[in-house]
Structure 1
């Protein structure tokens, strides 16, 4: 069923905060474009009102740290059938975009909507936003579709769930409502489907979807050095619950394949413990247990749980089976990439990726 949101004040007894219909969805588009984190903190806006090759306009176009594009389309006054058909149509156009076209879209966006960033290339903006040292070689290998609505109806929910659960399409809907309390306005948000959850984790996943039992891990970001992960035996994520929550999917005995976006796969290992904050992560050295925060590791400078549980860096201990230095990272065209720190992919691309990595790492 569609999510129904209510807001109450509790400081002077229970008082309902009134729902205020949004005057127009352009205001919502303005809010999202100004701070994309209200929709998805893993994205960066690269285009607004982007004209397709057949004359239609995509409301917002974004990119994630794996180089994949996201179409964000407002429902406006369209019927459920029309809005879903439109976002699928946009997806069929976006999947064909090449790197030079994406860079051109960014250039147009900066010129029209972000003059303060004039002269900043897509490469520079991307690396700054995601804490990477260089732009990815391959962009737009996959894409996601996001429908934004100020009201979510049964029909839209059924269609989105059907496309995602039974056809494996990366589509979701996010529902916003405005509330007014005196001279203050509040915006609430609810997702139809958990945006950090891979389709294979859904109880509604199609019976013929197949997960090969191998976990994907993305290891990237500022102050995360791969040689430290090798030395101390961990994978990590933080800077927000979007990046750290998926680490909770891992349990001792799980096997993980680690990818550095834009660089390649650098290791495969077996999880030996559960997620812990960086404050509490320990490792063995010459028979002694030590805390990583007592070392000079760069990872130890990340946000601590004591400072901010939500933004803290979290680590999962791993016993490495095989690793390579960053300079020898394994990268091939067609390899799987994902914005989530941890994922359980079911796509054929993941099956292919793991098979090739087993050959390259020479393991069973």
Structure 2
């Protein structure tokens, strides 16, 4: 399936047709590397670059390495002058080496990268916390990895291979296509994914021990949101972009969720009593009956609730809430935090690491919560 990209310039005069910008092409796909080094959000705003031209154990060079907030390692390979099939095979070959790398080896890769390219943070721990707002030791680094091929185009055979590997080999591999355009001396870059990156990935898994999911959900409550209002009116929240709000839809009535404020600690556990809805439609019980939350609080108390206007009423950018009944909740000043507890950047997730089982056990012990509390 060939992917054609185009950009049209819209004129103020409605009588004039849109003007398509002139494609200029990328004379060298390698020039993307410099642009990505300047701003990794060209690829994905939720990635942190940790390596460039990384030498493998079999003396080959990986174009770029990144990690996300879950500790997943992303191998990024530019097609350059390689054949489409070769670049896919090479990315898989690199993944076979990445899967063998221990935490300390990835930390060393970043340190060499930061020193060579003068990155603002000299350690991976500092860079990770600055980017994602959680500590590196709160995630399972390199438990999973993904592969991304960057190209201007791929042949049909390579696209079939990528689709097959995703669907039948449980290998998370995607392709990203770039096109360049010019308009009156201004240059533009357009990006398109082969597979929707918002679809749940089939992450390639390392040989690390996983626990069966214990049925307990984790939630991250951003420190820029009003925790005391969430305690008073019974909700957990997320929004501003689909990545932050879509995982709230994982929660259903009756689920139990443990809530963590990043860099602060765990502050509560609750039972879900309803489905996700937009914050401006969220109803709370009062003596006068059900009332919109927005009518009870001000913009100063909860800015995210009022961030959309008539001109920017995009559902993906909205704030979303899930109604809950608090089993136990505490002020942020009384948050429970200690070394070894689970943390994650996703608003909601279903952890399967041994660290999660330990975290739930410690919280139940600290807060005197039993299974009969459900």
Instruction: Give the TM-score, by structure 2 length.
Output: 0.74
Counterpart position of 1:90: 94
**TM-aligned CA distance change 1:2 to 1:121, over 3 Å:** same
Whether 1:8 and 2:4 are equivalent positions in the alignment is: no
1:233 aligns with 2:238: no
Aligned pair 1:192/2:201, yes or no? no
Give yes or no for the alignment of 1:129 onto 2:131. yes
Does the alignment pair 1:318 with 2:323? yes
Partner of 1:284: 285
Matches within 5 A, 1:94-113: 94-113=98-117
| Alpha-carbon contact 2:267-2:336 (below 8 Å) kept | no
Alignment correspondent of 2:33: 29
Deviation string, structure 1 residues 142-197 (Cα, Å, up to 9, x no partner): 12211111113212221111111122222211111111122111111111111121
**RMSD over equivalenced CA pairs, Å:** 4.1
Change (3 A) 1:318 1:141: farther
Give unpaired runs (5+ residues) of structure 2: 203-211, 365-369
Report Cα offsets for 1:114-149 as digits up to 9, x if no partner.
35x26x4322221121123x3334322212211111
Q: How does 1:50-89 map to 2 (within 5 A)?
A: 50-89=54-93
1:139 to 135, 141, 145: 141
Is the 8 Å Cα contact of residues 277 and 320 (structure 2) preserved in structure 1? Answer: yes
Measure, in 1, the Cα distance between the counterparts of 2:197 and 2:241: 14
Paired residues, what number?
A: 343
Rate the CA distance shift 1:324–1:46 in 2: closer, same or farther, 3 A: farther
Report if aligned partners of 1:146, 1:172 keep a CA contact under 8 Å in 2.
Answer: yes
What is the SS of the residue equivalent to 2:336? Answer: helix
CA offset at residue 43 of structure 1? 1.0
Q: Which structure has the greater CA radius of gyration?
A: 2
Per the normalisation by structure 1, the TM-score is 0.76
SS of the residue 2:137 aligns to? coil
Q: Quick one: structure 1 residues 4 and 215, their matched pair in 2 at CA, closer, same or farther if it must change by over 3 Å? A: farther
